[in-house]
Amino acid sequence: MTYLKEGTLLQGTVCKIFPYGARVRIAGTNRSGLLHISNISRGNVLSVSDILKIDDEVKVIVIKSNVPDKIAVSIADLESAPGLFLSDREKVFSEAEEMAKRYREQLPVTPQNPILDDGLPGEKLPFDNETKLYANWQWFKFLHHS
């Protein structure tokens, strides 16, 4: 498994509780994701340990996975009503597939690069002008050694 796609619904187990969230071990893997306190519920969560316990089975949705070992997950995005996880977690988990589908439908569509006949990218690459990306671009010197 490399990067998990945003919007992927996962089964997991709470393996560690922090003041700021919980670590959720993804079922069937040796990987885990961070469930931040703000992503536990859209309701008011004052203490993670009041809501979740170690070894709790949960369903989570991937909300960010830019680096293979840094996965951000959410339960709040699976709630059909704000705060539902606090009052009826079984309902949240039973509606998880439908809510994950809605979440994926709201994701922005990334345009494909135009491909030439030879399989190479066309003129329009999805990169900005590199000279604007670096504040000290004028300081860079590229020397050619013969």
> Looking at this protein, which amino acid is placed at residue 42?
R
Residues 55-112 pLDDT 10s: 999 999 999 887 767 899 999 999 999 999 999 999 999 999 999 999 999 988 765 5
Exposure string of 90-101, with b = 16+ CB inside 10 Å and e = fewer, is eebbebbeebbe
Q: Please check whether residue 101 lies inside any domain of the structure.
A: yes
Q: Which of 77, 73, 122, 120 is nearest to 98 (CA)?
A: 77
pLDDT of residue 54: 98
**Within a domain: residue 28?**
yes
Helix ranges restricted to H, the chain: 48-51, 84-87, 89-94, 96-106, 130-133
Give a yes or no: residue 52 inside a domain.
Answer: yes
Amino acid 126: pLDDT: 44
Secondary structure (3-state) at 56: coil
- Which token pair is 92? 């949240």
At residue 5, the pLDDT reads 86
The total number of structural domains in the chain stands at: 1
- The least confident of 14-18, 32-36, 119-123, 137-141 is 119-123
Contact of 83 with 44, CB cutoff 8 Å: yes
SS3 41: coil
Give domain status of residue 130, yes or no.
Answer: no
**Beta bridge partner(s), residue 142:** none
Note the pLDDT of residue 50: 95
Residue 24 within any structural domain of the chain: yes
Domain containing 75 equals: 9-106
Q: Is residue 18 in a domain?
A: yes
Asked whether residue 125 is assigned to any structural domain, the reply reads no
Does 21 reside within a domain? yes
CA nearest neighbour of 75 among 65, 88, 62, 66:
62
pTM of the model: 0.72
CATH (domain of 47): 2.40.50.140
